[in-house]
Amino acid sequence: MKTYTYEKSRELFKRASQVIPCGIYGHMSPAPLVPATDYPFYAARAKGSRFWDVDGNEFIDYMCAYGPMVLGYNHEKVDAAALRQLAEANCVTAPGPVMVQLAEKLAGLVLGAGWAFFAKNGNDATTYALMTARAATGRKKVVLIKGGYHGVAPWTQAYGHHGILEEDNENIIRIPWNDVSAFEKAIAQNSGKIAAFMATPYHHPAFADNEMPAEGYWNEMEKLCRANGIVLVVDDIRCGFRLDIRGSHAYFGFTPDMVCFCKAIGNGYPISALVGTEAMKTAASKVFYTGSYWFSAVPMAAAIATLEEMQRINATKIMAERGTKLTQGMKAIAANYGFELKVSGHPAMPYLRIMDDPSLWLHQKWCGECTKRGAYFTSHHNWFLSAAHTEADIDKTLAIADEAFSALKKS
C-alpha cells in the first residue's frame, strides 16, 4: 500500500494560521496528531465510513467526526429527511412540528425519560443539567470525575487552564472514577450542599486507558444520590446511542435523573438534547435557557431519521461487533510483531495503547503509519466505530495495521 502525502492540507493550514487562532483549534487541532506529517488536516469529501482529504487521499475513518457520524457520512435516509425538512422550513420565528415529534421519540426511546430539551452543543446540555439540578435542589456544589470531560464552559475546565478562574471551580468537587468512598467522603464534607453528581457512563479520558464501571459502582452511586437528595446526571454525549439505543444507563443498569446527549443523535446534523425524568421537569421549566438556532427543524428531522435507522438496523450491535473484530484482530497482529496492544473502553469506541511505551512514541508512530496508509486513527483519544464500517473495512484496516506494525518494527 502506498503512503500518503499532504501538500494541499499543509498549504491550507498555512493560510488558516494567518486568520484563525491556532489555524485549527480545539479537539480538531493538529497539535496532538504526531507525527503531524502522517496526518491530513482538511477533509474535502465524505461518504459512508470514509473521507477524502484535500489531497485526494482516502481514509477509512475511525474518528467519525469525533462521534457525530454513526450511520455513515452523507447517509441517504438521514439526508433525505433533512432535505425534505429544509425545503419546508429550518430556522424560523416559531419551531416546527418536528420538535414535538423528536421529543416524543426520545421520551419513548430513552429509558426513564419523561421529557427532552434541545440545544446545539453537548456543553449546552451539561450546563442546562447543572442549572436545573441547582434549581431543583437549591444547592450549589457539583461532583465530577477527575479527568472527565463535559465541555469547555468555564465550570467544566480546571483552574490553571487559560481564561479559567479559581471562582469558576469554586463549587466543583472532583473525585476519582470508580471510587464510591470518595463520593461518600465528599457528601460527608459537604452535607446538604451537593446539587448533582455528573459523570460519563464509563470513564473515557484522553491520554489514559478508558475504564468501565466496577461491579456495582453505578448502583452504589445511585443509592448515595437518592439517600442524599443529589441529582444524578449522565453525560452520555460521547457514548450515547453507541452502547444502547435506550441510553448508556440502560446498558449499565441504573436510573439517572437526567441524561445529556449530542454527537450520535443526528449523524452530524447539529443538535444536542437534555432528557430527564418527570420529577425534574418543573425545575427544568424554571431555568431560562435558549439559543439562536436551537429551534431549527432540519437537525430535528435528521435526529428522528438517525434514531429510527439505528433502531431498524440494530446499529449498536453492528458497532460492537465491528469494534470487537477490529480490536481483537489488532491485538493479535501486534503480538505477531512482539508488541502488546492494550484495548480499553467499549468496542464501539475503543481506546488503544501500545504497552511498554513510556515516551508514547511507539503508539503515536503506529497510529500515524496506519493513517498515512488509509486508516485514520488518533493516538490518545478513543476511536469511534459506526454502523457504516463493513467487515471488509475492518479486514482492510487490519491489513493496514499489519503493515504499520511492520514499518514500526523496522524503524
Question: In the window 316-375, what residues touch its own copies (CB under 8 A)?
Answer: none
Please report whether residue 160 would count as binding its own copies according to CB under 8 A: no
Q: Which of 4, 183, 252, 294 binds its own copies (CB under 8 A)?
A: 294
Which residues make Cβ contacts (< 8 Å) with residue 120, sequence separation at least 6?
A: 270, 271, 272, 291, 293, 294
Contacts of 272 (CB under 8 A, 6+ apart): 118, 119, 120, 121, 122, 124, 125, 237, 260, 261, 262, 265
Q: Which of residues 163-182 bind its own copies (CB under 8 A)?
A: 163-165, 167, 170-171
Q: Minimal distance in Å, beta carbon 194 to its own copies?
A: 14
d(CA 364, CA 38) in angstroms, rounded, equals: 10
Q: Which amino acid is at 68?
A: P
Per-residue mark of binding to its own copies, 35-54 (x: CB under 8 A): -----xxxxxxx----x-xx
Beta bridge partners of 47: 50
**Which stretches of 139-293 are DSSP H helices?**
180-189, 217-227, 248-252, 281-286
Enter the C-alpha cell of residue 164: 479559567
Residue whose CB is less far from its own copies, 103 or 315: 103
- Pattern 204-233, binding to its own copies, x per CB under 8 A? ------------------------------
The binder of its own copies chosen from 19, 160, 191, 358 (CB under 8 A) = 19
22 contributes a contact to its own copies by CB under 8 A: yes
Q: Residue 191 to residues 41, 121, 156, 194: CA-CA distances in angstroms?
A: 49, 32, 22, 7
Which residues are CB-neighbours of 406 under 8 A, at least 6 positions away?
337
Residue 269 sits in the site that holds its own copies (CB under 8 A): yes
* Binding-site member from 36, 86, 212, 399 for its own copies (CB under 8 A): 86
* Nearest to its own copies of 31, 332 (CB atom): 31
Residue 94 interacts with its own copies (CB under 8 A)?
yes
φ, ψ for residue 235, nearest 5 deg: -90, 95
Choose the stretch contacting its own copies; rule: CB under 8 A; options: 209-217, 223-231, 249-257, 286-294: 286-294
- For the CB of residue 133, give the shortest distance to its own copies in the complex, in Å: 8
Q: Which of 49, 277, 296, 327 binds its own copies (CB under 8 A)?
A: 296
Alpha-carbon span 103 to 100, nearest angstrom: 5
Q: What does the block give as the cell for 42?
A: 482538511
Judged by beta carbon, residue 86 or residue 182, the one nearer its own copies is 86
Specify the residue, 21 or 358, whose C-beta has the smaller distance to its own copies. 21
From the list 72-80, 181-189, 196-204, 340-348, the region that binds its own copies by CB under 8 A is 72-80
CB of 77 vs its own copies, minimal distance in Å: 15
CB neighbourhood size of 380 (10 A): 18
Cα(277)–Cα(60) distance, integer angstroms: 39
Shortest distance, position 230 Cβ to its own copies, whole Å: 16
Among 110, 258, 283, 333, binds its own copies (CB under 8 A): 283
Span of 59-67, 246-254, 329-337, 390-398 interacting with its own copies by CB under 8 A:
59-67
CB of 323 to its own copies, least distance (A): 17
**Residues 360 and 368: beta-carbon distance below 8 Å:** no
Name the 3-class secondary structure at 117. strand
Q: Does 161 bind its own copies (CB under 8 A)?
A: yes
Sign, CA torsion 398/400/403/408: negative
Residues 114-153 that bind its own copies (CB under 8 A): 114-117, 120-124, 127, 130-132, 134-135, 140, 151-153
157 vs 210, beta carbon nearer its own copies: 157
Q: How far apart are CA 89 and CA 85, in angstroms?
A: 6
DSSP for residue 2? -
* Closest distance to its own copies from the beta carbon of 409 (Å): 27
Q: For the CB of residue 305, give the shortest distance to its own copies in the complex, in Å.
A: 15
Segment contacting its own copies (CB under 8 A): 156-164, 310-318, 361-369, 398-406? 156-164
User: CA–CA separation, 265 vs 120, rounded Å?
Assistant: 11
